Amino acid sequence: MSLIRENATSLYDQIAATLRDEIERGGYEPSGKLPSEAELSERFGVSRVTVRLAIGKLVSDSLVERKQGKGTFATGKRFRHRLDALHGFYDSLARQGVHPQMKLLRMDQAKKLPPAMHGVFAPSIKTAVYLERLHSVDDDVVALAQTWLLPEAGEISERLAQTRPTYEILESLPGWRLARADMSITAVPASGAIAIQLQVTEHTPLLVMKRTSRLSDGRVCEATLFHIRPERYEFTVSSVTHA
C-alpha cells in the first residue's frame, strides 16, 4: 500500500487503518502475529516511530496486544476444533500452525473416580490414571484438561505425560487402537480453582467439552473434561446434504 503523504489524515492513522482492515480480514491467521516494527517500517517507508504510533493506536482500540519478547498479536484470535474429526485437543491446536504448550499440573496413577465419571467406564473400574494439564499458546492459557485413563495406562511415565498429547499416549500402549470419540459441549461458570488455573475471574463463563474415547474392542479408555476459555476457542462441524 502507498501512503498518501499529502492527506490530512496522519501517516500513522493510515497505517493503523490498513492494519485494522487486514486483521479483520484474517490476514494474520493462524497465529495472529503482526510483522515486526522493522518490517512494517520498511513496508510503508516510514520511521519506526510512526509505526509505533500506529501500533499504539491499535492497542488503544483493543485490536492488538504487545507481548514482551514475542511481538504484536491480534486480540480475539480464536482457535478451532473440528467435532467431525478424530483429533486430540493438542493436535488440533498444532494443526493450525501455532506452537501449543502443555504443562502437567498433576498425575495420579490410581485416582478414585469422581461422581462425574460414574458410568463412563465399565462398572468394574473404580480407579483410573489421572492427568491434569494446562494447554497454552504463546504463554496464553487456552484450556485446562482433566483426563482419566483406564488403569492399564498406569505404565506411562511422568515424562510421557508431560510431553505427549493424550491420543499419542494411548496409541503408544500395546494393543491400544482408537476407534471413535464421543463429545458433548456445555457452558459453566468458572469455579475458584479452575478460574485460577485459567487466569480468569471466578464465575467467568467457560466452555466445557466432555470427551470419551473408545478402543477398537469397544472399551472406553479415556474420558476428559476440557474447561476452555471461550474467547480463545470455538468448535466447528462440517455437514453435507444428500440428494
Q: How far apart are CA 31 and CA 35, in angstroms?
A: 11
CATH number for region 11-74: 1.10.10.10
pLDDT above 70: residue 239: no
pLDDT above 60: residue 50: yes
Q: Are 220 and 121 in contact (CB under 8 A)?
A: yes
Residues of the chain with CATH 3.40.1410.10: 79-236
At 108 the pLDDT is 96
| Total-model pTM | 0.71
pLDDT above 50: residue 173: yes
Average pLDDT over residues 193-198: 95
Q: How far apart are CA 73 and CA 67, in angstroms?
A: 8
pLDDT above 90: residue 188: yes
Average pLDDT over residues 73-87: 75
* pLDDT, tens digit (0-9, with 9 covering 90-100), for 125-136: 999 999 999 999
Task: Give the CATH fold of the 79-236 domain.
Answer: Chorismate lyase (3.40.1410)
Q: Are 212 and 220 in contact (CB under 8 A)?
A: yes
Q: Hey, what's the cell of 27?
A: 490476514
How would residue 9 be classed by pLDDT, with cut points 50, 70 and 90? low
Average pLDDT over residues 57-83: 81
Torsion on CA atoms 22, 200, 197, 62, rounded to nearest 10: 20
**107 or 85: which leads in pLDDT:** 107
Mean pLDDT across the chain: 87
Q: How far apart are CA 34 and CA 32, in angstroms?
A: 7
pLDDT above 50: residue 8: no
* pLDDT, tens digit (0-9, with 9 covering 90-100), for 92-122: 888 877 788 999 999 999 999 998 888 899 9
Share of the chain above pLDDT 70, in %: 93
Residues of the chain with CATH 1.10.10.10: 11-74
Average pLDDT over residues 75-103: 79
